[in-house]
Amino acid sequence: MNLELRHLRVVCAIAETGSVTKAASALGLAQPALTAQLQRIERTLGGPLFDRDRRGARPTALGELVLARARVLLPAMKGLQDEAARLAGAGDTPPCYRFGGVNSPILGRLVHRLAAEQPPAQITTYASWSVDELAQLVAGGRLDFALAGVCGDAIPSAGFGLSWQEVAVDPVLVLLPETHPLAAQDEVRLADLRHEQWVAAPGDGCFADCFAAACARAGFTPRKVYETDIRGCVDLVDAGVAVALCQATFRPVSGLVTRQLAGTPLRWRLLLGWHPDSPAAQGAELVLETAKAAYVDSLAPHPAYLAWLPRNPGFGVRQPTGVRPG
């Protein structure tokens, strides 16, 4: 059997989902058919590509080698196909934007702007709590752009070869019930929240460590931290069970308030990532500028934060510092 691009897509799908069963579902195939196909691929390549057990499928050394090559070849082939289509007279093909987002507060506004400015554009979105998953999908050519947030000056993993550019940087705020004793203050000291329970959305970055370090600097260790989706976070705060950390552009919720943390102990940077060798890279600057405009749009419901930004020029949309590989 000759190895084909579709076989590389199968290998990437198994690695991205961590399971043959999940990969079969994502590819629209029956699980036995995908298993048989994987076995043929492994025979062609001379060895197993994955170690499989009840916990899922993990790439072997040979599998990692194949994945590394596939993540270069698949975007390159897509680029070749796109360029060939243009040369063949298909230059009027509508632009296509495939976005992935990790709890992004601007994704909806970014899609709205692109759709308004380019009505024929084909736009799709994909949500994940994992920056690494989105980076892997972009590197594998299944997404064009990833919108992700990182704590402070951190950058996402360098293992996927993506370029990351800053959209904006915000202070991390605290979300409280409007009946909370500290809700009457414009600014809250982190130390004054030492007796609270906390709730946060899941993620695979360093934010939990950064939060623990900020609490340590404030002289305490945080009590119980619940982990749930955004709706669950809002419900727990609204019930008075916990308080939450949130982005400055968090959509206002009736009965809840956001307050600045004194001294801005935590910062959150919103990044846009793409693969520099992908066809999407040609339109990355346009998408980046549109993302920045979408961020500015997201500030409208937050007059207090809008008034705060001019006094703190290190936040909001800043002067570009160049694309950083990640």
CATH number for 81: 1.10.10.10
Is residue 44 domain-shared with residue 170, that is, in the same domain?
A: no
Which residues touch 79 (CB under 8 Å, ≥6 apart)? 277, 278, 279
Q: What is the pLDDT of residue 89?
A: 56
In a domain, 51, yes or no: yes
| Of the residues 68, 88, 108, the one at which a domain ends | 88
Per-residue pLDDT averaged across 155-168, rounded?
A: 90
Per-residue pLDDT averaged across 116-120, rounded?
A: 91
Is residue 46 domain-shared with residue 184, that is, in the same domain?
A: no
Q: What are the backbone dihedrals phi and psi of residue 147, each rounded to the nearest 5 degrees, phi first? A: -105, 120
Q: What are the backbone dihedrals phi and psi of residue 57, each rounded to the nearest 5 degrees, phi first? A: -120, 125
**Structure-token pair, residue 4:** 């084909």
| Of the residues 53, 88, 123, the one at which a domain ends | 88
Helix (H) or strand (E) segment spanning residue 273: strand 267-274
**Structure-token pair, residue 255:** 């009965």
Is residue 103 domain-shared with residue 28, that is, in the same domain?
A: no
Start-to-end CA distance of the chain, whole Å, equals: 36
Burial of residue 198 (CB within 10 Å: 0-12, 13-18, 19+) is buried
Give CA separation, 225 vs 182, 233, 262, 272, in Å. 20, 11, 21, 29
In a domain, 311, yes or no: yes
Per-residue pLDDT band at 80 (split at 50, 70, 90)? confident
In a domain, 324, yes or no: no
Is residue 38 domain-shared with residue 184, that is, in the same domain?
A: no
By three-state DSSP, how is residue 235 classified?
Answer: helix
In a domain, 50, yes or no: yes
Which residues touch 47 (CB under 8 Å, ≥6 apart)? 60, 62
**Structure-token pair, residue 37:** 């196909």
Give the percent of the chain with pLDDT over 90: 70
CATH number of the domain bearing residue 303: 3.40.190.290
Which residues touch 306 (CB under 8 Å, ≥6 apart)? 299, 300
At residue 143, does pLDDT exceed 50?
A: yes
Is residue 78 domain-shared with residue 108, that is, in the same domain?
A: no
Per-residue pLDDT averaged across 298-319, rounded?
A: 92
Per-residue pLDDT averaged across 7-21, rounded?
A: 92
Is residue 60 domain-shared with residue 106, that is, in the same domain?
A: no
| Residue 124 belongs to domain spanning | 94-318
At residue 206, does pLDDT exceed 60?
A: yes
Report how many domains make up the chain: 2
Is residue 127 domain-shared with residue 158, that is, in the same domain?
A: yes
Per-residue pLDDT averaged across 45-63, rounded?
A: 92
Of 95, 2, 86, 98, give the one whose Cα is nearest residue 44.
Answer: 2
Is residue 300 domain-shared with residue 153, that is, in the same domain?
A: yes
Q: Whole-structure pTM over 0.75, yes or no?
A: no
At residue 17, does pLDDT exceed 80?
A: yes
In a domain, 305, yes or no: yes
At residue 201, does pLDDT exceed 50?
A: yes
